[in-house]
Each structure stands twice: as C-alpha cells, then as structure tokens.
Structure 1
C-alpha cells in the first residue's frame, strides 16, 4: 500500500475517533444537562432537607429546587423551618434565586449576577429566661484572628430581599413587634480592587410596628476611606413600643408619642474618622408620666433641625428647635425630692473613670434658633410648708396643702447660642404667673464663660402663693400684695471668683396686707413699699439703695386674752430646721463658723434715704377688762445716710401723734448696719392722757386713774455694744381714783409713792438712767426701767426717806434725829435735816409726817441725872447773879467755868437735904470734890416719867422746828405716843432719837 493510501486511511481513522469522541462528549454533556435540570434538584432537595434538619434540629421542608445549568442559576421555593419546640414556623421564604457568574471559576472568586429572596419570614421568641428560640443555633464559631491570609475575592450583584416579614415575641417585656414590607436592595458589593472606589447604593425600607422606615445611601465599605452616606426616613415611630428596650431602668412612663426622622448620615474613615449628621427629628403628641403615674410632660409638637453635625469631633450644630404648647408638671414631695430628680436611677450615666476616652478639643454646641411658644409649667411643692406644733389644728389642715404655682403663656426664644468661648447669643423669655402677674427677661447670653446681660421686668406678681416658703419663720397669712420690678441683671462666671451677679433697677411691693395666723387679725399692711435706684450684687455682696419709701402703712400689736402677744407669736422660732442643743455643748466655747457671714466677710450696705408717710400703729390689750387701746398715727419722717461703713452715721427724723393729739418726735443719728452698732437717738413724747390707762392701773396697781398726763424725754446712746440711756419721765397731775379689786394688784403703797414723787405743782419728774451691755442676753432696757419703777414703789413702803432723799438730796438719815443722852436740844445737824424735810413737805403738800420720840433707858437716865447735877450748880450761879443784880440769863443757858466749878459745887452740895457725913462735933464734913459729886449724883432720882417727858420734849421740839418755818401746816404734823420708851434697835443708830414717818 502506498504511503498516500496509508496516510489517507490514517486520517480517516483519526477523524472517526474525533467524531466518536465528540459524540460521546455531547452525550455526556447532554446527560449532565439533563441531570442538572431533572436529576440534581431532587437529590439536592433531599440532601438539603436531611442535612439541614439534622444540623438545625428542626424540621425543614423544601417544596422545590430548580437549576438552570445554562444560566448557572438556582431557585429554591417553599422553604420552611419549623420551631424546635412547637409546630409553628420558625423561618421561611417563598423563593430564593441565585445566579452565578460564569467567570467565577476562572477568577477563583464568588461572583453572583443576582441574588433575590422573596417573602422571607422569621418568627423570633424572646423567652422569660432570656434565651431565644434560636439560641441553640448560636455557636462559638472558629477563630481566625491570627490568620494573615487575604480575604477571598467576591462580587455580589443585584441583591434584593422582597416583601420580608419578621415577628418578634418578647415575653419578658410582654410586647410584640412586627416588621412588614421589608425590602432591601443592594446593587452590588465587591472587594475587587477596581470596585473598591465605586459606591454601593443600598436601599432598605420596612414598616416596623406600623411605622414606615426608609434607609438609602452610598457606601464604599472596602475602601480605606469607608466613605458612606445614608438617608434615613422614619415616619411616626411609636415611642412607647420601644421604651422597654432602654438600657437603663427608668422612673417614668411614656404614654404616647410619635417620632419622625428624616436625616442624612455621612461617614469617612480616612484620612480622619468623621461622622456627619444633618436632618430633622420631629416629636408629636408626646405624653410622659412620672413614677407615681401622674402627668409629667405633654409635648404636642417638637421639631429639631440639625445642621451638619459631627458628633465624633464634638461639634453639634442645631439649626432650630421649635416647641409648641408644652406642659411640664414638677412636683416636690414632703422630703424635698422633686419628681424630675429621680427619672433615671442613680449611677445610670456612663463612667468617667480611667478608660474613658479623652479629647483635647472641648465639645462645641451651636443652636441657631430655639423657640418655645405657649408653654405651661405647673409646680406643686408639698415640702414648702410643714405645720408647726404650736399652730391650731384648723390651720394645720390648710397649711398641709402643697404650694401651687403655674407659669402659663411661656414664650422662649434663643438665637445664636453657642459654647464657643466669648460668643454671645440672644434670649427672650416671658410668661404669666398664676394667671395674674407677668414676667419677662431679655438680653444677650454667653455660655463659655457664662455671662448674661438681662433686662428683667416683673409686673404685679401675686405674693400669696409664695407665703408657705416663709410662713414657718414669720407666722403671718398674706391676704394681698403684688411685687413688681424693672431692672438690669448682670451675671458672669469668673474662673477664680466663681459666679458674680448684679442687679440694678427698682422694686416695689404694693397693696400689701397680712393677718396673724393664730387669731386671723390684721397685723401689717401698706399701700406702697418702693425701692428706687436699687443696686444689689453678689460676690462681692453689696446692697445700695437710693430711696426706700413706705406710704400709708399700718401695723397692729395685740395682747390677747391669754396674755400672748401677736408679735411674739409671729416671730417665734420652731421651724423644721431647728435642732435641740445638746446639754454638753450649750455652754461650750463658740466654734469657728464654717462660712463667713456677710457681716464677717465685710458687708457693703448703703441706703441713701428711707421715707415714711401716713403710718399708723394700733395697740390693744385684750387681757385687760376693759380692753386697753392706743394708736400712734400720722407717722412720718425720714432716715438719711444708712451705711455699713464704720465712719458713717445716718440722720433720723421721725414724728407722729399718739391718739391723734400727743406728739411724738424721734431724732438723732444711728448706724445699725456696721459691725460696731452706733445709736444716738432722742425721743420726745408729750401730753398723753393717762386716764385711758385705767385698765392697766386697775389690774396691776389696784386703782383707777382719775387724771394725769405723761411726757417723756429719752436719750439712747450705744457705742461698742454698750448702752447708756437717760429716761426722763414727766407726769403732770397724776392722780389715782377709786380702789379696784384685782388679784394681780400690788400690795405696795402706790399712793404713798406718788405722794413722795409728786411736787407742789402736781408734777412728777423722774430721771431713770440705764446702762448695760447688749451682749448680755438678760439685758432689756424697758425691763430695767420697769424694775426701777417697782423699786421706787418698794422704797416708798420700806425706805420712804431714802426715796425722798434721792429726790431732794440726802438719804435714809432723813428719817431720824439723834440726841446726846439726857438732852432734848435740837443740834445743828438735826436742824439741817428739819430744814431739808420742811422743803420736801412744802413741795409735797399731800404728805403727812409722824414724829415719835424715844429714849435710851440707861444712857438717857444717866444723862438726865448728870443734867440735874449740872443744873443744881447752875442754880447756885443764877442765885449769886441775882444777888449781885447782874443781867438775868436762863438757868439752862448759864455756863460753869472750870475755875468756879468747885465753888458752885460746894454751894449746891450744901443746899442738898440728904444726910451728909458729919464729924465728931456733928458738923457736916468738908469733903473732897469727887465725894461731893458722888453723893449728889447718888441722891438724884430719874424715873420713867422723867424719861417719858424727855422723849415727849424731843418730839415737841422737832415739831416746833417744822412749824417755825411757816411752810408746813400743823395739821400735817403728828406727835405719836411711843409704844415703848426705847425704840426699835437699829445697827448704828442711837436709841436716844426721834423717829419720823411719812404718811
């Protein structure tokens, strides 16, 4: 065979083999295609059902699986997974379509042309023990944290989830959640390098619990920048439905509320991580209750518009906040805790301990516009008033009611508010208080540092709602009164000094009225109390007032039938802040104060002028029968130049009238504000009729007042906490009337005291100086004055001459005249006493004087004996003078000279008739002088009658001494027969005396 034939036959054989191979290949391919179309799906369905059921421990059903080998697509239909413990469906979907890109095998990557999931559904159950119905499916998984292999390449395109649904049954929270119409569209997602910089544009929409949510955006998840932009749209999110999922337990309940969000979120990872948010958040029909299920907040409308905000950089920019008709209810319970204080549990905030990230840049907050309109704030305070135990039960019931204050028509506007340093915005706030007064504040405000320059205006603010805040300190019930002020308030925060405040303007309280709570009687009222040119500051503290004007004011002081005084009841302490002083510390040395008081820190108080006009003070004492009343009217005047400066003294000039007639005048200088109190005041009061004082005189003195007028001239000086006062009282024609039976009346001789004090003109002048220290807690000026008056009356009974001596000079010694033994002669000293008493009796014609003579029985008996002895000698001289026909001198006035003593003694001895010693011849012996004296004295007998006569002579000569002046009527002088010759013994006084008594 030729080579050509052989070659041909070879080619023919090879061609046959190729054809045969092609035929077999086509047959295999056809078989594979047929297997993929018809054989593989049931096998895969069976395998997946068995494998998934075993793996998931749940019954899995798959209705159909179809494969298209030409398009490299797979479709699974009717897939359902039963719940492990019930017959309910756990998860399902109608159809899953996956289309694989043919190039995947060549590129060694997962490339999907399309992924579509139709009507997926999952039913999630959150059990009471915290587990879920899928908890057993959660495995730990494998960890590849140490792997450095590059992630596999993938490209997923046209990813869609259509009409998905989710049911969440939350048993611990006792709530259900539904997701319907869940649609997710993701055009592609790929980590191929040439796709990294191409934005992925996902779109997610769903109806969650009835609220429509839409999320659209662009993202580069695999680029180094991670650039992402999302548009978020949430419509009418039902807020109460999600309250149970807050990370902390709350002490409030959101009853209703819808939230709508339309915002855009932009995120960039490189070159610097940044998150930008802008959009709008709206709240509608928000209603919040507090822990006691009482209304806390209602918010019909709130819109917040965010300008581009970067939270990661600490930059927050709010374009506008609009709030309409909010209503806030704040309540303070008896313990002092407000319902807004415990809305969140303690320590619920994030910890700021170590590990909290620090930033070198402070957070910046900018608010372009904040506007609140027609707001209402209701404040109820049950801790503002705790009734004291001294109040009556009727008052306790009403006092226990909480304070109620309502601010309505609240309008707030803030523009350009920022935390940027030294940047200022503008604010304006206005509201109406308790449907009456109005308030407004307006001006620039800065936050860093805090500062404000505000124009403040309050008009006719009713004071009555605020009285529980001072009712336990000043126990009055305010019946009316309105506060108004216009001024400028300046606030600033200094890093070193802290907050500083200053207010400049004017303030007034008008048409004020009050009653005391115990008896509901008028206490204090005025038409107007105005402060003009008012300047008040804090840090440093100062009060400067140009003028204080009080007009048409009225005050009432009452002593009630039980003896209580309304002023004492009003000012009594006993507030809830008081604590008993332990006995061991009551007398301890004072301890340094924890903080300086304004006076200690150096106070600065200045009041240029205080004027009073049209004042009236009423005083009544209902403890007396009949009731005593007095009124001080037409009170007016001024105090000028009050200041806390040490060298400044204020001038005082006040005037008024008592009972419309008696004028009162107070003038002088004071400085009550400085640390070293200074007072130099003179008070003059004239011609007040005393007859209306009969209720007092009847109760305490036991007599009515027939007539009389009172005037006083007081001078009070206080320097260095020492008081030096002069109290000059003048009573004109003061006369007591009829006797009044009173168990409280004094037993002291009041009439005698008046008679002692009253002069011939019917006038009583008293000068009662009082000195003392204001640091002595027991020192009270009028307490001392009253004690002095009581002492005067007591002296009238116990020591009238001491009282009289204090008035005219002298003292207790005016009540007696002393004598030498045996003598009735009035000495020069006694003559001076008689003259002083004569003048006193002349000036006090109602006084009577009793004169009672006494003797010292032993000494006066011896004195009379000596007197008789001397008189015998004087008689001999008198006889001798008669014989010589010399001038006659009364015997008692003769003087025996020493040279002639023995001569007249012998004559007197010779004239005596008693038996004398004789000599042997029977003649009288010539005796020495001592023996003659002894015998004569021995035979002179002094009887009690002689002593009684001496006492009587002494009294008569004293009476004669008074009568000789012609100034004391005889009928006012009485000689009293003594009950005994000897008087009552007194320490240093002689018994040879005349006692005087005033009646």
Structure 2
C-alpha cells in the first residue's frame, strides 16, 4: 500500500509538472505571442500616440528565442517611422542564471528601416517620443547586467529628410550592416564591432574595432570612401557655406577613444585623408556676373564658375591626440590645383561673401581657456598649382595669373621658435617668374626670405595706369632680387625690411593723345636698396638709367603735354601754398646715393610760338647724387649731353628742395641759332639766318627769391627775314645786333634777373624776356657808346659841337669824327644819319649881323632899281664901306629917331653923346639896335643847321673814306631837345 501511495504521489507530481509544462508551453508558444501581437500596438499607441503593427510574433519558451516579424511604427501622419522584417533574440538561460546577468547568445535585426526627418523649424519627427513627464525615474548608479554574445544588423536602411535648410534634402543610407560581439554592460569587458554602410548618393563607411562601456572606450580602424562633398554640404553646411562643392573624399585612420572621469580623449594614428576631383564654386551668380565671365572661364557642370579645382589633395600620416592638443602630419600634398579669385568693384574679395561669418560670442558665454594646440607637419607640397586673379575695381578689369605654382614647406611646427624652411616659385602672367626661398617662425612671428622676381611684364598693369594717366604701357619688364625680413615687434606690428636690387628694362610708354613715345628707357636699375616699411625709411645706393627718353611739348595755349596725360589730383589745391597735414613722424624718409644717366635723350617741342619749334637733346650722361629727405641735405647735379648732335650741354649744381635752395649752372656751347629761330620770331619778329650761341646760365633760389645770371655769347649772328608777330618786342634789333658785335663778330651779353617766388605774378619767362629787352634797350638808347667801345674810345660820338652861328669843325670835333670813321669801318652794315641843328638863342645873335647886312643890301638894290635900267636882285648887290655907313645911318635914324639928332654940320649923332657918324661908337650902337629888332629868321637858322650837317658829311665821306651811300643827311632841326647848352648836331645809326 505504501508503494502504491508513493507511485500515486509521482503521478500527481508528474501530472502537475506536465500541466505546468503544458501551461508554460501554451503561454510561451501561443498566448504570449498572441498577447504581444495584440497588446503591443495598443501599448505603443497609448505611450506615443502612434500606430504600430506586428505581423508575426514567435517565442520558444524552452530555448528562450524571440522572433518578431513585420514590425512597423508609424508617425502621426501615417508615414513609416521605424520598421524591420525580422528581429531575433536568443537568450541563454543557463548562462544568465550562472552569470546573474541577462546573457543573449544572438540578436539579429534584419532589414531595419528608420525614417528621420527635420522640419523647417528644426524639430525632428521623433521629438514627441521623449517626454520628461512619462520618463521613468531610474537610478543611474545601477546598470542592468547584460551580455550579448553576438549582435547582427543586416541590410538596414536609414531615410533622412531635412526641410530645415533653404533647399530641402533627402538621403538614404543602405545597406547598413553591423556585427557586434560580446556587447556587455559589465566593467572591463570590450566588444568587437564591425560596421559598414553606404550612401545612396555615393560613399561608404567601414568601421572595425573594439569598444567598452565601463569605462567607455573604443579602438579600431575607420574608413570613409568616396563620400561626395556636394552631399556633405547639402546635408550639413548649405546655409553656412555659400559654396558649391564637387568631388569626393576618402578618410582612413586607426583610432583610440576613451571617456574617463568626464574627460573625452581621442588618439588617431596612421591617418590618411584625401580629396579627389575637388571643385569649389559660388552657388549663386547674378546675371551681370555670369555675362561678365570670359570664354576661357572654366565652368562647373551646373554653369557656376569654378573657384577652386584640385584633382587630388592628400594628407598622409595623421597622428592626433585630443586631450594633449597634438596634431602631427607626415605630408600634405596637392597637385595641379587651380584657384580663381577676384576683387569686386566695391573692393571686397570674392571669398569673403562665400565663407561663413563667425558670430560674436556673448561675453557671458566665453569658453574656458584651453591649452594651445601643437601642430607638426613634416612636409607640405604644392606642385603645378595655378591662380587666376581679376581686379574688378578698375574700369577695365585686370587679370593676373600665377602658374605653375610650386611650394614646399618642411618641418612645419607652431611651437615657439620653430624654424620653417620653405621654397616657393611660380610663373607670373606667362612670362614672369617669382621665387621665394627662406625660413619662417610662427611664434614669435619672423621670416627671412630670399626674393627673386624676373620678367614681370608691366603692360599687364595698364588698367592701373589708366586711373591716373592717359598713357599706354607698351613694354617693360620688372626684376627684383634681394632679401625680405619680417619681425614682430613689441607693439604687435611686424617690422618688414627689404635689402636688394630691382630693375626695369625695355620700358616704353606712349601717350593716348598723340600716340607718340612719351617716357622710355633701356634699363633702370636701383641697387643697394635698404627699405624699412614699418619705419617708413627707404635707402638705396645707386639708380642707373640707360638710354632714358622723355618727350616734352609746350602746346599753343602754353600748357605742357604732361597736363593732358596726367590726371589732376582730386584734392589738389588750385591756389595758395599746399601744406601736407601728414605728421612729420609719418612722412617717408629716403636717401639715394646717386642717379647715373647714360645716353639719355629728349624731344622738346614748343607749339606756342609763331613758328613751332622742336629740338633734340642726345647723349645725356652724368648723374645726381646725395638725394635725401633730410632737411639739410643737398643734391648735387652733374650732367653732360648735346643738343642737335652738335651743341654740348653741361648741367651742374646743388639743390636742397626741403629748404627751397637751388644753385644750378647750365652751359650750352655752340648752339646753332637757326635751329631756334622760332624763339627769335616770338621774341623780336625775325628769323635767324646764321650764328652760334653759347649760354652760361646760373640760377639761384634762396629764401624764395630767385637770382639768376645769364651770360650769352653769340658768334657770327645774322638776322633773317622778318615774320609778322604782333607780340614781338618793338626794338630796332638789327641795329642792336650790329652794335653789340665786337671786333670779332661776337655778341656778349650779361643778363641778370631777380624775382620773388612769393609774388603771385612771378614768371620766369617774363623775367627773362624783360631782362633781355632791358639789355638790348640799353644798347639801342646808347648806340654810339656801344660803337665807341668797339675802338676802345670813351667819347660820346652821338653829337658834334659847333661855335655859335658857325658851321666850322674845330680840332676836337674832327678828332671825334676820326673815331667815328674808325668805328664805322668795323661795321659795314651801319649807316650814319646826320641831323643838322641850330639853336635860336645862341645861333641867332651870331647870324643877326648877316641878316642886317642882307637888309642893307635890299635897300641898296631898291635904290638901284629906282634909277632905272637893268633890275638887280639883292643877293647880287655889292655894298661899299661908304654905302654901308650911309645905309646904316639912314636905317638907324628911320627905326630909332629918338636916339639921334643932327649936329650943326648936319651930321647925325647919338642923343646925349658926342658919338657921331665920324666915330665907330655910333655905328656899333646902330648895329646892335638894328640887329635886335630883326626877328629871327627860321630859314636862316635852317641854313646854318644844314651847313653844319654838310660839314660833318663832307668830312666823313671825303676825309674819312666812308662810302657816300652809308651817310645820310636828315631834315634840319631848330632848337631840338639836347642835354646842356652846347650847340650840337645829332648823329644816329641805322641798319636796313
């Protein structure tokens, strides 16, 4: 019975266990999946407000394997949010029990799909899933023990939709495959991770590594391959970077990452980053800009202008430590990169508007000070690069190209004092070459660079010349060689210095007005340059100019051709003395040891003259020395050349422009005067037939006062034909020329001038003209003084003196006439004019006796004619002494009856006197009284003047041997203006 009782107990136990197993089986295989399938969507809807569905739920209660299939979670609008085809979990119960942790042997998620979307306001489509009100409070200090032996994700898919940016974007990541082994929440355990995913637009991520959760750490290898830059910009940067990016990137590196004690650190080694087929362009160009692009401009497929093209950029050997702020790179290399840049009309660089603008941080949110980064790069190399730059600030934009650009920098480091050796070279505008070779230090900033520039053509910079001159730069090449040093000063202002040489060869310009050569030279070399830009100091040893040339034209309105070519300065004052407001300390300081000129030349034209004038100066050699901004410095000038290939020109002097002091001597020797006929026509209305001129000009300016000495020597000078010029000086120039010539046929003139530069009417041209007129006028006003000087005489040969009433030459006057004859023989072109003169006050008393005698002759003639017979003219009457006394008595008694009375004998006597007709006293008184009442006879005085002129002429011609055709007697003059009371006849000179 006891055995039956025990058996019954086993049966009951077995029945119970069987029942429990049955119930467990029913619950596991049927009831639980049914409940999950039916209740899970409702629970999700209750918690999230979103609809969800599960196609199939399977659970093996014995193997603890869960399988969900066909799961979908929708968004509120009905779109799919999350879904998967199959989710499989294999729980290891025994291991879970033994390890006291949930141990899952395998988790497989097949074909999961998730859609992430962001709206225009930046809100994500899963925002409503995270509500703080419904979140369960958990003790973060406790971690649920979990160990997943293997987790697989197969053919996952992520759909990304972003409407937050200006241009909405979509992207799909598919397939996503991941393998995770030994995923655990236990400390000091690491998982093994393998992940790969691909972008639908192109690009792939591969990640292999290890990771731990406690502490958080990871290490492994990550690789990004063929990720398109355009997608990176569109998906993350389109509103930050106004650039269109084309090309793809590759990134590969080994890494270690840890998060311990709230500190995150990343170590990267064996890093490699590459960009392929990079093209960068502006995303938006206005219509005007698109129309302005040239045919040579490289366009993006979308029609945008490519700013940067780079077939490959390679960064190799990247080593990175986030915590220590260390970055080391073995090499950075780029080949065939091409850059395009331009300066916009408003003066901004095109890249400025394309790059993101850094926001000013709030002072209250200033980041904590961090340790500076240490950056080391073994090699930076750029090969065969190119740069095209266009300056659109100009009316006619200028394009400059630099290609090929080769750059190499070794051992780059931002550590203080680290030396950075580098080499840079590039072609410039196809013909030029620029080379830089030097060392630089980043902190503190300094650099020592050897500079070499060759063959830079100046004609490419024509548009810059157009801003201030109507001048075409036809040719010219610039070369520079030297050393540049840059040192950061205490005031954080870099001190920049240059020492070396520069040269401009084959320089040629033509003015746009006449299209003629304006300024040119064969070579201009500035050597021994020592420039300090920060101190505004510039020094050089020598400036050598070979074959310089300049064309100078004075136009009809007397303005110079420079006025037409050079644009006026916009702020230049028209009146008054301009004084710069620039502080003395900021004014540039300079010194140039010497300017050397070889084989210089110039074309000079003066079109303001009646007859236009042109001259050439050639073979100009010499130099200028001691040029300096020092106030007391004096510039020394020493130049030699020749005019017209015939006349040597010598210029010497000293100039101090800072103090307004000038002392310059200019000598011209043997200048052919017919070549400067235009100036003679302008000055005096005559051309020049013959002659050579030498000039010694000395100009001094001190205290704003000009003092000049002009010594002129003219040899064999002959005037040519007369040219009508209403502005010519009114001077008998031919006479002046004849008088000014010495015995050798040379004219010597000393013409001093002086004037104040402060005088608003100051004009050097007027001063010289006035001085010349004065010098010539002195000769003209004293021609006989000049004539006498030819024979070394001091006599005044302009007058010949006579006794009162006489035309006889005395010994002294004959001597003067002999000197005059001698002088006239030296000047065959001179003609002598004689103007006989008589002076009533002195000559009439002397000739009144003759008038009285003629009156007596007329009385006698009347008596004879009354007697009948042949008539007789008074001039043929001969009066005897007896008739003379009789007629005198008769006429005196008739004119002065109260002065005579008759004696007892019937003769006449003077009243109150015993003097009668028998005494000389009577006749003397009668003669005086009768002569006094005779009115001066003009004709008799003219006759006397004519006799005097004839006497002079006879002596000059008959005794002196001067040809009669050179001597002219002018009309006589009565009482002409004279100096003193001397009775003179006037002489004058004339040249036809």
Preserved contact between residue 531 and residue 538 of structure 2 (Cα < 8 Å): yes
Task: Note the C-alpha offset of 1:717.
Answer: 3.6
Corresponding residue for residue 767 of structure 1: 750
- 1:739 pairs, out of 722, 729, 749, with 722
Distance 1:528 1:588, change over 3 A: closer
- For residues 647 and 581 of structure 1, the distance between their equivalents in structure 2, rounded to whole angstroms, comes to 27
Match of 2:449 among 434, 447, 454: 454
Q: Specify whether residues 360 and 805 from structure 1 end up closer, same or farther in structure 2 by C-alpha distance, changes over 3 A only.
A: farther
Any unmatched runs of 5+ in structure 1? 1-7, 387-399, 872-909, 927-932
The DSSP-based 3-state class of the residue aligned with 2:399 is: strand
Q: How many Å separate the matches in 1 of 2:19 and 2:510?
A: 117
Relative to 1, partners in 2 of residues 1:451 and 1:831: Cα closer, same or farther, differing over 3 Å? Answer: farther
Give the conservation status (yes or no) of the 8 Å contact 1:824–1:950. no
Q: Does the CA contact (< 8 Å) of 2:835 and 2:949 recur in 1? A: no
Q: Which residue of 2 aligns with 1:380?
A: 390
Distance 1:623 1:222, change over 3 A: same
Instruction: Note the C-alpha offset of 1:326.
Output: 0.4
- Match for residue 181 of structure 1 among 172, 175, 178: 175
Q: 1:523 to 1:862 in 2, by over 3 A?
A: closer
Greater Cα shift, 558-567 or 475-484: 558-567
Q: Is the 8 A contact 2:712 2:749 kept in 1?
A: yes
What displacement does 1:182 show? 1.0
The residue that corresponds to 1:605 in the other structure is 591
C-alpha separation in 2, matches of 1:697 and 1:869: 55
Q: Which of residues 304, 319, 333 in structure 2 aligns to 1:308?
A: 319
Secondary structure (helix, strand or coil) at the match of 1:472 reads coil
Structure 1 pair 957/91, CA: closer, same or farther in 2 (3 Å)? same
Q: Is the 8 A contact 1:760 1:842 kept in 2?
A: no
Segment drifting more, 134-143 vs 477-486: 134-143
CA distances 1:658-717 after superposition (whole Å, capped 9, x unpaired): 222222223x45355x73465444322111212233455456654332112111012234
Change (3 A) 1:736 1:818: closer
Cα offsets for 1:888-926 (capped at 9, x unmatched): xxxxxxxxxxxxxxxxxxxxxx9997465999x999579
State the distance in 1 between where 2:946 and 2:105 align: 154
Query: 2 CA distance for matches of 1:70 and 1:776?
Result: 123
Any residues of structure 2 matched to 1:267-278 within 5 Å, and which?
267-270=258-261, 274-278=265-269
Query: Does structure 1 conserve the Cα–Cα contact (< 8 Å) formed by 2:834 and 2:953?
Result: no
Give the aligned partner of residue 227 of structure 2: 237
Matching of residue 328 in structure 1 with residue 339 in structure 2: yes
* CA–CA separation in structure 2 for the residues paired with 1:147 and 1:594: 74
What secondary structure is seen at the aligned counterpart in 1 of 2:352?
Answer: coil
Residue of structure 2 equivalent to 1:27 = 19
Q: Using a 3 Å threshold, how does the CA distance of structure 1 residues 663 and 247 change in structure 2: closer, same or farther? A: same
Q: Counterpart in 2 of 1:36?
A: 28
Partner of 1:906: none
Render the CA deviation track for 1:326-369: whole Å, top value 9, x for unaligned. Answer: 01112223333332332225x43563845322536444332221
Structure 2 gap segments, 5+ residues each: 286-303, 790-795, 851-891, 904-908, 914-924
Secondary structure of the 1:341 match is helix
- Do the aligned partners of 2:805 and 2:944 also contact (CA within 8 Å) in 1? no
Q: Which 10-residue stretch deviates more, 136-145 or 20-29? A: 136-145
Tell me the residue number matched to 2:158. Answer: 166
CA contact (8 A) 1:251 1:342 kept: no
Aligned to 2:880: none
Shift of 1:261: 0.7
Q: 2:350 aligns with which of 339, 346, 356?
A: 339
Larger mean CA deviation between 319-328 and 237-246 belongs to: 237-246
Alpha-carbon separation, structure 1, partners of 2:40 and 2:376: 59
Name the CA shift for 1:551/1:606 in 2 (closer, same or farther; >3 Å). closer
Pick the aligned partner of 1:619 from 604, 615, 628. 604
Q: Which residue of 2 is the match for residue 391 of structure 1?
A: none
Matches within 5 A, 1:503-542: 503-542=498-537
Where does 1:785-934 land on structure 2 (aligned, <5 Å)? 785-789=768-772, 800-801=780-781, 914=896, 924=911
How far off its partner does 1:520 sit? 2.1
**Aligned-pair distance for 1:130?**
4.2
For the structure 1 residues 868 and 528, does the alpha-carbon distance in structure 2 shift closer, same or farther, using more than 3 Å as the test? closer
Does the 8 Å CA contact 2:788/2:797 hold for their aligned counterparts? no
Provide, for residues 440-495 of structure 1, a one-character-per-residue CA deviation record: whole Å limited to 9, x for no partner. Answer: 21122212122222222223332221343334335432322222333333332222
Shift of 1:605: 1.1
Partner-residue secondary structure (3-state), 2:223:
strand
Q: CA deviation at 1:155?
A: 2.3
Q: What TM-score, normalized to structure 2?
A: 0.76
Does residue 548 of the first structure (1) align with residue 543 of the second (2)? yes
Whether the 8 Å contact between 1:834 and 1:961 is mirrored in structure 2 is no
Task: Give the deviation of 1:32 after TM superposition.
Answer: 2.8
2:108 is matched with 116
Q: Is the 8 A contact 1:864 1:942 kept in 2?
A: no
Give how far 1:266 is off: 3.2
**Distance in 2 of aligned mates of 1:34 and 1:727:** 137
1:60-93: CA deviation from partner (whole Å, max 9, x where unpaired) = 331101122223342210112345446x544320
Residue aligning to 2:581: 592
Q: Aligned residue pairs: how many?
A: 899
Q: 1:227 to 1:437 in 2, by over 3 A?
A: same
Q: Against the structure 1 CA distance between its residues 745 and 375, is the aligned structure 2 distance closer, same or farther, given a 3 Å change threshold?
A: same
Residues 1:477 and 2:477 are matched in the alignment: no
Q: 5 Å matches for 1:115-514? A: 115-127=107-119, 129-130=120-121, 134=125, 137-142=128-133, 150-157=141-148, 158-170=150-162, 173-191=167-185, 195-208=186-199, 209-223=201-215, 226-229=216-219, 231-247=221-237, 249=239, 252-263=242-253, 264=255, 266-270=257-261, 274-278=265-269, 279-290=271-282, 291-292=284-285, 293-305=304-316, 307-311=318-322, 313-344=324-355, 347-349=357-359, 351=361, 353-359=363-369, 361-384=371-394, 386=395, 400=396, 402-496=397-491, 498-514=493-509
Q: Distance in 2 between matches of 1:604 and 1:776?
A: 31
Alpha-carbon distance change, 542 to 27 in structure 1, aligned in 2, over 3 angstroms: same
d(CA) in 2 for partners of 1:627, 1:864:
57
- 507-516 vs 756-765, which moves further: 756-765
Q: Would you say the 8 A contact 2:840–2:975 is kept in 1? A: no
Listed one character per residue, the Cα deviations across residues 407-445 of structure 1 (whole Å, up to 9, x for unaligned) are: 212110000122222211110111222222322211222
Q: Which moved more, 1:305-314 or 1:325-334?
A: 305-314
TM-score (norm 1): 0.75
**Secondary structure in structure 2 of the residue aligned to 1:43:** helix
> What is residue 570 of structure 2 aligned with on the other side?
579
SS at match of 2:22: helix
1-structure distance, mates of 2:617, 2:507: 20
Compared CA separation, residues 833 and 507, structure 1 to 2 (3 A): farther
* Conserved 8 A contact 1:951-1:981: no
Q: How far is 1:166 from its partner?
A: 1.5
Partner of 1:254, secondary structure, is strand
Aligned to 1:3: none
Secondary structure of the structure 1 residue equivalent to 2:353: coil
Q: Distance in 1 between matches of 2:788 and 2:102?
A: 133
Matched residue, 1:713: 696
How many angstroms apart in 2 are the aligned matches of 1:597 and 1:54?
Answer: 80
Q: Which residue number corresponds to residue 5 of structure 1?
A: none
Change (3 A) 1:923 1:777: closer
**1:68 maps to what in 2?**
60
Supply the RMSD in Å over aligned alpha carbons.
Answer: 5.3
C-alpha distance in 2 between matches for 1:491 and 1:287: 34
1:254–1:286 Cα contact (<8 Å) kept? no
Q: State whether residues 202 and 217 of structure 1, in contact with CA within 8 Å, keep that contact through their aligned partners in structure 2.
A: yes
- Check if 1:727 corresponds to 2:710: yes
